[in-house]
Structure 1
Amino acid sequence: MSTRSTSTAGIARATGIPWETWTARLDELGARTMSHAEVARRVAEQLEGVVENPAWWGQSVAVAWEQHTGARRPGQAGDGSFGASASRTVTGTPDEALARWSSLLAGRTEVGGVPFRQPPSTAATAKWRYWRVRLADGSRVSATIGDKAGGRVTVALAHTGLASADDVARWRSTWKELLAAL
């Protein structure tokens, strides 16, 4: 089916188990009749003591498996919606990057032709800065800003709740264009 080869190659590298072996194991387990959570749990059990964070890798294998079997398309969430992401590394501190991002979107009532359901909000922790907004189409956008070495920060955008795979490319382009203005 349409599993991303980069995903399966990364899974094989991290787990030490070739993707073909994973597909055979999951077929033997009867994974086609299991829920996502059950597949992820069973894989995580197999990865105990093999990788750091076996639960995370269990989720990764389960998603790739669902893509492999056609139960999920690349970029599709478990609820059937899609998500787009984009990121950019810029100079400055997290506070400075958040201020620039907020300024870039200040005064807007929409993005990409979709109105904001409510005004954007910001939040901060000791390590991270956040900018979030809900759009009128029911989707959500979140910018997560964190430190990198050398006086730089990463601004990572996640747009969840998109209706179709076609929306992913359109929104990714929109977000990359805005990030380029930082």
Structure 2
Amino acid sequence: MTASTPARSAASTGTRAESIPAIERMSGRDWASWLELFAAAEALTAGHTQIARIARAALPDSVQNPDWWAQAVAIAFEQHSGLRVPGQGSDGLFRVSASRTLPLDRDAAIAAWVAAHGAAAQQLDHAVLNPRQSRTDKRSFWRFDLENGGRVEVSATPKGDDKVTLAVSHDGLPTGEAIEGWRAHWKALLAQL
């Protein structure tokens, strides 16, 4: 890609279209200018860490959470240029998530998940391995591995006085084709609570 190459549309490249306007608003730089910056820095041959560094150096000093935004810009560029597709991490594996707000506290939400689904020996034909529960000052967790299927984290995060967001994050999917099937599965399990 060169500065004279027209920018491809987000829809044609797999870039999440909603991320581009947010990046433009945050940075005060239009997407075509970002693409020119990355082309000049030869970012197509750089790894994710270097692409994020290029983005971070180009952010205005006034940006709040500049490291987070640098990651967002780097991911959008990688998606735009075909280095990764939506849902794919920098390690080449894929991730999916689903969430639901419940009228419970965080420990009760995890207890509800465990009561409903914790004894399951399999999830979509993958054996559940090493289930474990943990807690931090801010969240409660139920985690497990899936044989040949990645890692799953169920987290409960307080949302106000009497609600919690119960989120399922599934990392380590080998292909993007599996994302929507797993998303539907996790949403169905959350809907049962």
TM-score (norm 2): 0.89
Deviation string 1:75-100 (CA, Å, 9 cap, x unpaired) is 11111111111011110100111110
Aligned to 1:50: 62
How big is the shift at 1:106? 2.9
Letter in 2 for 1:142: E
Letter in 2 for 1:27: A
Aligned to 1:122: 133
**Unaligned 5+ runs, structure 1:** none
Letter in 2 for 1:13: R
Aligned to 1:22: 34
Could you tell me how far apart the structure 2 residues matched to 1:110 and 1:171 are?
A: 13
Equivalent of 2:156 in 142, 145, 151: 145
Q: Which stretches of structure 1, 4 residues or more, deviate above 4 A after TM superposition?
A: none
Could you tell me how far apart the structure 2 residues matched to 1:18 and 1:103 are?
A: 49
Aligned to 1:176: 187
Could you tell me how far apart the structure 2 residues matched to 1:151 and 1:64 are?
A: 36
**Unaligned 5+ runs, structure 2:** 1-12
Q: Is the 8 A contact 1:15 1:50 kept in 2?
A: no
Aligned to 1:60: 72
The DSSP-based 3-state class of the residue aligned with 1:77 is coil
How big is the shift at 1:62? 0.7
- 2:98 maps to 1:86: yes
Aligned to 2:15: 3
Letter in 2 for 1:151: D
Cα pair distance change 1:50/1:103, threshold 3 Å: same
User: Number of matched residues?
Assistant: 181
How big is the shift at 1:138? 4.3
Letter in 1 for 2:162: G
- 2:166 maps to 1:166: no
Aligned to 1:104: 116
Q: Is the 8 A contact 2:139 2:157 kept in 1?
A: yes
Percent of aligned pairs with the same residue? 37
Q: Is the 8 A contact 1:45 1:54 kept in 2?
A: no
The DSSP-based 3-state class of the residue aligned with 2:53 is helix
